[in-house]
């Protein structure tokens, strides 16, 4: 690969008629340029360098009334997503038109090979921004051979809780942070043998020296809008190569459905660009921000006049169950978040619970506008970037709303 880069660079700088033909680079200059080009190519995947014009030819072929439906599910890791596609005779008009399917759970950390068939039960349908036409993306729950929820299927339990609290009309909005990595495992665009300048100019930054990978952020945003995902915003984050998108407002179980689909779209867009999106809550050690999934919460009572007292009551309940929430705010019982929730870099300490107005170093933040108006919502800043949104919203609803009903019954 490096030899090819050297030949290419030599040709570019000695080609007759080129602006550089009268003063070609030195041998050292050609080698340095070749090494830079080689490193740049090494940071993106091999598949991303395939001929996209050929790909587009086939993607533009008509398919008549037939419809491609891509089934998407969470694998046994509780973090990874899997997908496979089938053909339906016609475009489904609703989720009830999409049949159940199955897959080999022994290849997704979800079953033993001797009893590996798992059920895919469609639960939410979206438009497909990759194959277009009438094609669909379908989020699925996973059931075991006995039709009980798989261990990684946290949606099933979350749905039951959301049904119990639906009269509160709970709204959620989640802020998904992520970091772009090259195939070499380094944050995309970072120097190969060093680091970019310190944090400061990158948050909501503009310019090639501040925004690393804006194309991916923008393409993902458009893909979500096309699909019907309730994405409401996006921005570059504090650490270079780190971004955030926001999904919401979503009511009840819809929050987890839309965030998981937004994550799938992110990974697929990154696949096209040849880079990796990681949700690791602390991808780089040292004086660099981690990645969270701040969760904004409100109920009908919180949004009405005098709602601040209901917000404060919910925060009081959360304070009594801090340890339990930390255990479900990342997929590994708090072991991921312990690297992020240090009390530094706009986080609270994982060991303590605190709240405050406009305080981004607190466990729970009450936005300043909410404090001034006396109603609105609160932000739980503890969930990690790789959290399961079903687990997070279920825990918050259970603590703040089911706990409230239990107390009312006891009195």
Across 213-235, b (16+ Cβ under 10 Å) vs e yields: bbebbebbbebbeebebbbeebe
Q: How far apart are CA 340 and CA 336, in angstroms?
A: 7
Quick one: 221 and 121 in the same domain? no
pLDDT of residue 400: 97
Q: How far apart are CA 183 and CA 121, in angstroms?
A: 33
Quick one: 345 and 286 in the same domain? yes
pLDDT of residue 43: 86
Establish if 97 belongs to a structural domain. Answer: yes
Q: Return the CATH number at 134.
A: 3.10.20.70
Quick one: 395 and 346 in the same domain? yes
For residue 148, what is the DSSP state? P
Per-residue pLDDT tens for 161-198? 999 999 999 999 999 999 999 999 999 999 988 999 99
Mean pLDDT of the chain: 91
Number of domains in the chain: 2
Q: Which domain holds residue 264?
A: 161-402
pLDDT of residue 6: 41
Single out the residue of 264, 274, 277 nearest to residue 129, CA to CA.
264
Domain finish residue from 104, 121, 151: 151
Per-residue pLDDT tens for 359-386? 999 999 999 999 999 999 999 999 999 9
Please report the sign of the dihedral spanned by the C-alpha atoms of residue 73, residue 259, residue 330, residue 123.
negative
pLDDT of residue 192: 87
Quick one: 86 and 139 in the same domain? yes
Q: What is the dihedral of CA 330, 361, 393, 95, to 10 degrees?
A: -90
Establish if 23 belongs to a structural domain. Answer: no
Establish if 196 belongs to a structural domain. Answer: yes
Quick one: 142 and 165 in the same domain? no
pLDDT of residue 33: 52
pTM: 0.90
Task: Name residues of the chain where pLDDT drops below 50.
Answer: 1-12, 14-15, 17-22, 405-411
Q: How far apart are CA 254 and CA 172, in angstroms?
A: 9
pLDDT of residue 314: 98
Per-residue pLDDT tens for 114-139? 889 999 999 999 999 999 999 999 99
Per-residue pLDDT tens for 51-76? 999 999 999 999 999 999 999 999 99
Quick one: 274 and 305 in the same domain? yes
């Amino acid at each position: 690969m490096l030899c090819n880069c050297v030949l290419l660079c030599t040709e570019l700088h000695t080609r007759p008629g080129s602006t550089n033909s009268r003063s070609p680079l030195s041998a050292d200059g050609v080698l340095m340029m070749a090494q830079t080009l080689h490193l740049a190519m090494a940071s993106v995947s091999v598949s991303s360098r395939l001929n996209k014009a050929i790909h587009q030819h086939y993607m533009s072929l008509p398919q008549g009334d037939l419809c491609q439906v891509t089934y998407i599910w969470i694998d046994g890791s509780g973090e990874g997503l899997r997908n496979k596609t089938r053909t339906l005779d016609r475009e489904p008009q609703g989720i009830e038109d999409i049949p159940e399917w199955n897959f080999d759970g022994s290849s997704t950390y979800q079953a033993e090979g001797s009893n590996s068939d798992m059920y895919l039960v469609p639960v939410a349908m979206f438009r497909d921004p990759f194959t277009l036409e009438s094609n669909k993306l379908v989020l699925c729950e996973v059931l075991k051979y006995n039709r009980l929820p798989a261990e990684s299927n946290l949606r099933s339990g979350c749905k039951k809780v959301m049904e119990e609290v639906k009269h509160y009309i709970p709204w959620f909005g989640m802020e998904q942070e992520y970091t772009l990595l090259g195939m070499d495992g380094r944050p995309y665009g970072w120097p190969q043998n060093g680091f970019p300048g310190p944090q400061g100019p990158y948050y909501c930054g503009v310019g090639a020296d501040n925004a690393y990978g804006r194309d991916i952020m923008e393409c993902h945003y458009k893909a979500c809008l096309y699909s019907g995902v309730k994405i409401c915003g996006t921005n570059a984050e504090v650490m270079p190569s780190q971004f955030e998108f926001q999904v919401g407002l979503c009511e009840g179980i819809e929050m987890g459905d839309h965030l998981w689909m937004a994550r799938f779209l992110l990974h697929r867009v990154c696949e096209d660009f040849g880079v990796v999106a990681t949700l690791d809550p602390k991808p780089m050690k040292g004086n660099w921000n981690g990645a969270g999934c701040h969760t904004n919460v409100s109920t009908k009572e919180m949004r009405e006049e005098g709602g601040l007292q209901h917000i404060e009551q919910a925060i009081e309940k959360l304070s009594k169950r801090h340890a339990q929430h930390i255990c479900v705010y990342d997929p590994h019982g708090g072991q991921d978040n312990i690297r992020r929730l240090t009390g530094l870099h706009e986080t609270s300490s994982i060991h303590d619970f605190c709240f405050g107005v406009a305080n981004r170093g607190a466990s729970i933040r009450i936005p300043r506008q909410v404090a001034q108006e006396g109603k609105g919502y609160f932000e739980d800043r503890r969930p990690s970037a790789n959290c399961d949104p079903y687990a997070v919203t279920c825990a918050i609803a259970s603590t703040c709303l089911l706990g409230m009903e239990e107390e009312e019954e006891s009195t």
